[in-house]
Amino acid sequence: AVLLALVSWQATASDPIRVNGFVCKNPMEVNADNFFKAAALDKPRVTNKVGSNVTLINVMQIAGLNTLGISIARIDYAPLGQNPPHTHPRATEILTVLEGTLYVGFVTSNQPAPNRNKFLSKVLNKGDVFVFPAGLIHFQFNPNPHKPAIAIAALSSQNPGAITIANAVFGSDPQISDDVLAKAFQVEKNTIDWLQAQFWENNHN
């Protein structure tokens, strides 16, 4: 019994302790750099083919965020660009517009008829704030064909996650059966095959 206790103590003493999958640092070794990143969030980003770029700063970039339940993102929108319908499985998001105008919205979870999935939307101008509840499908769209837009979002998790709906459904690897998707979307299989043949680009960095 003593031998087992010693082996157990040695394993505990030598193995790193993890919380949320991340190694906890000895408090005596913590310094300011563990809570800092020169993220250059004031600089514009290049957008992709859907017309947006999400620069997320989470626990992967700042180790000191672990267990603190918060992260931040800068989102750049090209003219007529969008951050397409997606969800954050582990976080509520609060977004503010820094430049331009955004049309934003989210869809509620499944409800009995006649409410079903209610769509809530708003046009946001510079300085406006909007909240997207955790886990719900939401989007942002820049309706201006001539000017870009910029937003900052705070999320209530150190690792909020993101599931872009079109990418997940039509761009999965391996692909979901077109029989399944044709039945789910009530369309012909060749429509599903065409969608699955597209390149589904990720706009989250």
125 closest CA partner among 139, 104, 153? 104
201 labeled part of a ligand binding site: no
Any binding-site annotation on 83? yes
Question: How far from 177 is each of 11, 28, 54, 122, 180, CA to CA, in Å?
Answer: 46, 53, 30, 36, 5
Q: Is position 93 annotated in a ligand binding site?
A: yes
* Beta carbons within 10 angstroms of residue 192's beta carbon: 23
Angle between helices 189-196 and 178-185 (to 10 degrees): 110
204 is in an annotated binding site: no
146 is in an annotated binding site: no
**What's the number of CA atoms in the CB half-sphere (13 Å) around residue 106?**
19
Q: Which residues are annotated as a binding site?
A: 83, 86, 88, 93, 138
Q: Can you say which residues are annotated as belonging to the binding site for oxalate?
A: 83, 88, 93
Binding residues for Mn(2+): 86, 88, 93, 138
